[in-house]
Chain A
Amino acid sequence: MLKVLSAGLVLLEGDARFSFSNHGVPLSGAFDKERMQQANYLVGNPLDAEVFELHSGKFEFYADRDILVSVVGAGEVVVSADGNKHFVNYAFKVPAYAFVSVTHTPGAFGLTYVGVSGLKGDKVLGSASYDTFSKLGTKPVSGGDIFELGSGYDEYVSDRILLSCSSIQRVSEIPFLVGPHYDELDPAASALTVQIKSLARSGVRLVSREGFFGDTFSNRELMSIPVFPGSIQVDKNGELIILGPDGGVTGGYPVLGVVPGSYISLISRLVVGETVRLRMTTPDKLRVNHTLGRI
């Protein structure tokens, strides 16, 4: 078993909660799926296994057996295991009862993910992930919590390292596909520069530098339509909201576009106060760019 000694804002996240959107249940799951999968790969877990998602503060724990631990993140992440300092993006062995301490500083290009070999959570509707909107899943991690550990790790896994890690780069551009109300933009723009106002698992709030939205969409509400993580809504004040994994499943605001699912991870790495470019693309171009290895 793994026992938590102390935790800042730490959530257990993993695979999303599929097939229940028409029951009003958000997808949820890890905000930065790419980093979650990297953390799991490093410790030999299934890629969608549970990980600890660190939002702020110090996270300390130990296990009652030898484990592999990985920490995937960017910026100021301090890792130590029983006095030994470790770095991010590789797996390291932790003997039984050795204390692991990870400190994440918010604003450092996204969230930090801690993978632990064999980590398991109790599943609700197919996922152990904590949904900050509906409160489903494993409650936020706190001191004294105990987590089950499944089978141990294979020795060959312990030498894994991420040789290249695109997930730690700063995000300057995010693609989006056209949504049902995009054609109401006058003039329609293929690229929008926006500033990040706030960021949470429910979504990112942005203000436009070009000022396109205030006149066209202010005070506009319509019959609720299905929405998804990545849906770009325009609220009554003309601000943009890109829904996160815990965003609702229906909404009455106009939807300009959708950030494709494979790019939702980029949203979690935005920094409050900075700017990012939203660039319109098409499904065909997305397929080509994937083939060519571009984002």
Chain B
Amino acid sequence: MHYSIKPYGVGSLIVFDNPEDVTFAGEILRGVFGGDLRVGLNSLYVPVQESNLDLSGLSLGVESGKVRNSGREHSVSVDYTTGLDLTEVANQMGRSISDVISLHTETVWTVAMVGFAPGFPYLRPNSHSDVWGKVSRLSSPRTKVPLGAVGVAAGMSCIYPAEMPGGWRVLGTTDLVLFDPSSETPSVFSAGDTVRFIGEAVDA
């Protein structure tokens, strides 16, 4: 596991060469820093200066395989008939619409982080990352993306927890409520969780 440490205010940013290492490193460091640990797509923020940071056990802990991802598994139903950008995504991936949907539902996605907006999950594919990497963001973001829109862009997938501006390409929509402020854990998703999408293929 390779990483670099950068100063970040009163704390430090640990930047990982392999973004997938964030999940397991986060498991270890959360045990030390609790809720003060902050998660990025390929980085972790810890509230201590580098001189006070001992990461000597981090690589060993991750590479030993003893660290297990304690994330939860989710199944998310998607209506792909509402996919605003299905045709363009299929063109960019060089596949049929039906194949795009099949691949989206076959792929296991890991929640890399929750950010941008309350409950907004950034999902990293556990396979076919090269294929999903062919999909670009919208050149001009929409001023209003529908509530529950399931998007893909730049190798990742996401779900919009509310109607809001956004530049991800929309494959479909879900009725799942992603954020409940009355709950003690208001976001349905947490970093490290896994997601499988469920939905029917759409005729081209």
Chain A residues near B (Cβ < 8 Å): 19-25, 124-125, 133-134, 136, 177-183, 223-226, 228, 230-231, 248-250, 255, 257-258, 260, 283
List of B residues within 8 angstroms of A250 by Cβ: 40-41, 113, 115-116
Please state if A125 and B186 are interface contacts (CB–CB under 8 Å): yes
Flag the segment in B42-50, B56-64, B169-177 that touches A. B42-50
Interface residues of B in 103-122 (CB under 8 A from A): 113-120, 122
- 16 A–B contacts, CB within 8 A, in A order: A22-B37, A22-B114, A23-B118, A23-B187, A24-B114, A24-B115, A24-B187, A125-B181, A179-B6, A223-B40, A224-B122, A225-B13, A225-B45, A249-B115, A258-B8, A283-B10
**Per-residue 0/1 for B2-42: is the Cβ within 8 Å of any A Cβ (1 yes, 0 no)?**
00001111100101000100000000000000010111111
List of A residues within 8 angstroms of B19 by Cβ: 223
Beyond A24-B120, A231-B9, 13 additional contacts (C-beta under 8 Å) are A22-B38, A22-B114, A23-B119, A125-B186, A136-B118, A178-B9, A179-B9, A180-B6, A180-B7, A180-B13, A223-B40, A223-B43, A224-B113
Among residues of A, the one whose C-beta sits closest to the C-beta of B187 is A23
Please state if A179 and B7 are interface contacts (CB–CB under 8 Å): yes
List of A residues within 8 angstroms of B116 by Cβ: 24, 224, 248-250
CB A149 to nearest CB in B, in angstroms, measures: 24
Which of B39, B45, B115, B181 contacts A248 (CB under 8 A)? B115
Interface residues of B in 71-120 (CB under 8 A from A): 113-120
CB A255 to nearest CB in B, in angstroms, measures: 7
List of A residues within 8 angstroms of B179 by Cβ: 23-24
List of B residues within 8 angstroms of A20 by Cβ: 118, 186
Give the distance in Å from the alpha carbon of A21 to the alpha carbon of B161 in the complex: 16
Which of B6, B118, B185 contacts A134 (CB under 8 A)? B118
CB B144 to nearest CB in A, in angstroms, measures: 15
Q: Quick one: given A24-B118, A223-B42, are A177 and B35 in contact (CB under 8 Å)?
A: no
Give the distance in Å from the alpha carbon of A21 to the alpha carbon of B38 in the complex: 8
Among residues of A, the one whose C-beta sits closest to the C-beta of B181 is A124
Does B136 interact with chain A (Cβ within 8 Å)? no
**4 closest Cβ contacts across the A-B interface?**
A250-B115, A258-B9, A226-B38, A180-B6
Among residues of B, the one whose C-beta sits closest to the C-beta of A179 is B8
Most chain A beta-carbon contacts within 10 A, residue among B15, B37, B39, B190:
B39
Size of the B side of the interface (Cβ < 8 Å), in residues, is: 36
List of B residues within 8 angstroms of A21 by Cβ: 38
Among residues of A, the one whose C-beta sits closest to the C-beta of B191 is A22
Give the distance in Å from the alpha carbon of A19 to the alpha carbon of B6 in the complex: 23
Q: Quick one: given A22-B39, A24-B187, A125-B181, are A224 and B7 in contact (CB under 8 Å)?
A: no
Chain B residues near A (Cβ < 8 Å): 6-10, 13, 15, 19, 35, 37-43, 45, 49, 113-120, 122, 161, 179, 181-182, 185-187, 190-191
Which of B13, B35, B43 contacts A22 (CB under 8 A)? B35
Please state if A177 and B10 are interface contacts (CB–CB under 8 Å): yes
CB B161 to nearest CB in A, in angstroms, measures: 8
Q: Quick one: given A19-B35, A22-B114, A125-B181, are A224 and B8 in contact (CB under 8 Å)?
A: no
Among residues of A, the one whose C-beta sits closest to the C-beta of B119 is A24
Q: Quick one: given A22-B190, A125-B181, are A228 and B9 in contact (CB under 8 Å)?
A: yes
CB A204 to nearest CB in B, in angstroms, measures: 17
Give the distance in Å from the alpha carbon of A194 to the alpha carbon of B14 in the complex: 29
List of A residues within 8 angstroms of B122 by Cβ: 224
List of A residues within 8 angstroms of B182 by Cβ: 124
List of A residues within 8 angstroms of B113 by Cβ: 22, 224, 250
List of B residues within 8 angstroms of A133 by Cβ: 117
Most chain B beta-carbon contacts within 10 A, residue among A21, A124, A283:
A21
CB B163 to nearest CB in A, in angstroms, measures: 11
Please state if A23 and B35 are interface contacts (CB–CB under 8 Å): no
Which of B9, B15, B41, B114 contacts A23 (CB under 8 A)? B114
Please state if B9 and A257 are interface contacts (CB–CB under 8 Å): yes
List of B residues within 8 angstroms of A182 by Cβ: 7
CB B178 to nearest CB in A, in angstroms, measures: 9
List of A residues within 8 angstroms of B15 by Cβ: 180
Please state if B117 and A224 are interface contacts (CB–CB under 8 Å): no
List of A residues within 8 angstroms of B39 by Cβ: 22, 226
CB B48 to nearest CB in A, in angstroms, measures: 10
